[in-house]
Structure 1
Amino acid sequence: MREGYATLRQGNEYSAEIVEKRSRFIAQLVHVSSEQEAEVFLAQVRARHHDARHNVPAWILVDGRERCSDDGEPQRTAGMPVLEVLRGAGLADVCCVVTRYFGGTLLGPGGLVRAYTAAIQAAVDSAAQAGGIVEMTLVTRVTCVLPYAAYGRVERLVSDCSGHICDTIFAEDVQLTCAFRSGEEQAFVDTMCELMAGEDVCKVGNPMFSEF
């Protein structure tokens, strides 16, 4: 299982447009978490640009599934170049649709590859400049319940073990929820067991991808 990947901030759409011999190439890029979400976005773009000659989709999911289509362009001149840019950027859980309005001049296979590549690269660059690309890390959360007297010491221990506190609930005791890069939580759990005289006060969650 991969330890991390880059994706887009949810809820935002990033786009860029280039013109090549009067043909317009408009790249539209969003976060998706499933094939169904990718298909919904493709349908939205097709409705938005219903008068365009081509709407070329490509998407990659974090589980390794990916898909692209040339949508009527010559084989491997459109969808695959878009997919290759997404791969090269290390992106996952993303979908891009590049809309082409034909300008009347044939570009040839090489020209199409260059134009589709340039359009999606411009959209990726736009997302990066806008702070829309986020790094997702495989994270394990640990929840522990401890007496108030130990709170300050445990707070420092979380930091010493390269973690951070996500949530704190002050009740009869203190409940801390901490996050660690997966594999680094064990040092914290072991030290907590020693600190609490052998009492197991930690509940370790399953690894999941999250911003860290």
Structure 2
Amino acid sequence: MRVVYTGGEGEITEKKSHFIATVKPVQSEEEAVAFINETKKKYWDARHNCSAFVIGERQELTRCSDDGEPAQTAGRPMLDVLLREKITDVAVVVTRYFGGVLLGTGGLVRAYQAATQAGLAASRLIEKCKGQQLLVHTDYNGLGKLQYLFGQKHTVILDTAYEADVTMIILVPAEQKEILPKEIIELTNGSAGLEWGKTCVYALIDKEVVFF
């Protein structure tokens, strides 16, 4: 899942109208609605506070509002940006201070989409991944081979315990759950012991693993 880790605020100006896009991560419709209402209060003197939000692993819950702009010229174009970028669990409010020049239907669509993109650009986006921890028990002869394999596959090593043998805890992405254990067994000629741990949702942020 592609989500917003930290929200941001982006601005554009189009024919004297000023657009402010405020982006925030949300987990529920109630949270999204509260954020939209809060932003409307903040920018109470603006002509429009249009909004869109997407929630759910498969982007299954979507809502949008034109807030007084001509139908389909604000909220829906904003929502289309979020869907196209495959972002979920996010809400966006684009505030418009009218500059006295009409933009026309096409101009409004382009302006609200550009503002939404500016808001996303000012935010931090991350990829949430599903995975499972795997405990790998090996002797010291197999350690170097496994370290090389994990380096090649960019496998995250969460912990390593050096005792009579070596125990490594690695993070296996869901898409590697079938193939990686087989590669470990092959590489160590069947001598490595494998024990599945807990499943998790995680992201790599600044090369550090963050669990959700």
Sort the TM-score into its range (normalised by shorter chain). Answer: 0.7 to 0.9
Map of 1:133 onto structure 2: 125
TM-score (norm 1): 0.75
Where structure 1 has 5 or more consecutive residues not aligned to the other structure, the ranges are: none
**Is residue 70 of structure 1 aligned with residue 66 of structure 2?**
yes
Quick one: which of 158, 167, 170 aligns to 2:161? Answer: 170
Map of 1:38 onto structure 2: 32
Q: How many residue pairs align between the two structures?
A: 200
**Is residue 25 of structure 1 aligned with residue 16 of structure 2?**
no
Map of 2:196 onto structure 1: 203
Map of 1:55 onto structure 2: 49
The answer on whether the counterparts of 1:140 and 1:206 sit within 8 Å (CA) in structure 2 is yes
Deviates more, 1:190-199 or 1:83-92: 190-199
Deviates more, 1:191-200 or 1:180-189: 191-200
The answer on whether the counterparts of 2:138 and 2:191 sit within 8 Å (CA) in structure 1 is no
Q: How does 1:65-144 map to 2 (within 5 A)?
A: 65-127=61-123, 132-136=124-128, 138-144=129-135
The answer on whether the counterparts of 2:64 and 2:75 sit within 8 Å (CA) in structure 1 is yes
CA change 1:40–1:151 in 2 (3 A) is farther
Give 2:58's aligned amino acid.
Answer: D
Give 1:124's aligned amino acid.
Answer: L
Map of 1:13 onto structure 2: 7
Give 1:85's aligned amino acid.
Answer: V
Where structure 2 has 5 or more consecutive residues not aligned to the other structure, the ranges are: none
Counterparts of 1:186 and 1:45, CA distance in 2: 46
Give 1:165's aligned amino acid.
Answer: V
Deviates more, 1:200-209 or 1:39-48: 200-209
By how many angstroms is 1:145 displaced?
A: 4.8
By how many angstroms is 1:82 displaced?
A: 0.7
C-alpha RMSD of the superposition: 3.0
Give 1:168's aligned amino acid.
Answer: D
Counterparts of 1:86 and 1:80, CA distance in 2: 10
Deviations 1:149-207 (A, max 9, x none): 354443334335x2413411527665433223323232332344564857853205547
Give 1:101's aligned amino acid.
Answer: Y
The answer on whether the counterparts of 2:136 and 2:170 sit within 8 Å (CA) in structure 1 is no
